[in-house]
Structure 1
Amino acid sequence: MKLFTQPILRQLATNGRAQEAVRGTPKEIDFEPVVKLFTPDAGAIWLLTETCPHDPDIAFGLCDLGLGLAELGSVRLSELAAVSGNFGLPVERDRWFQAKGTLSEYAQEAHRTGRIVA
């Protein structure tokens, strides 16, 4: 299964362009995650909302490498494709993921519970 379908990549790019237009202002956008990625054998989770308009290989989102320390930040999509878990299983996309809140809401919940709940 492909990590990113064309519709997912288009939405990430659309969100990135919208965010760039308001970055650094009070109008910054708190998007709902577009995609959830995970390692089936290591507990790592990434909830991604947008890609950089100048470098579409860079995505922004909420990331937890399976240590219970979720952080907002950037990640390279090409690096995610190369990651594998404890037993060598690659990163997968949660095909059934439907966002139920904004990225900041997921981050608040993760900081409260010690893990990303998605």
Structure 2
Amino acid sequence: MDDDELVDLGFTALADPVRRAIVARLSRGPATVNELAEPFAISLQAVSKHVRVLEQAGLVTKGREAQRRPVHLAPEALERLTAWIDGYRLARERSFRRLDALLAEPRDDTGGAAR
């Protein structure tokens, strides 16, 4: 899967508020599906489906510790999404800096730049 597809999957997965809340919870440390389900008024099966979507997007991984199956956040996937956003943010900042510099140039009485 290429980077564009991973970015698409990541943003699609994060479009849902329950999945964003799960990611926020996992940012504090791993948790089981049962633990992730506690704050939600939805079934355990629904939470499992949300976790599966996050896992398919590469945003979380499942482990195995004895009888527990903790879900872990995959920070590298979040970094990939952040890098994608930062690329556009930096391009816009450069454009705004050029505009600021242009607006800061002294003008003559006709509205043109003074030379």
On whether the aligned pair clears a TM of 0.5, the verdict is no
Structure 1 or 2, whichever has the larger Rg, is 2
Q: Which has the higher contact order (CA 8 A, sep 6+)?
A: 1
Could you state the TM-score of these two structures normalised by the residue count of structure 1?
0.29
Identify the structure with the greater helix proportion: 2
**What TM-score do the two structures reach when normalised by structure 2?**
0.29
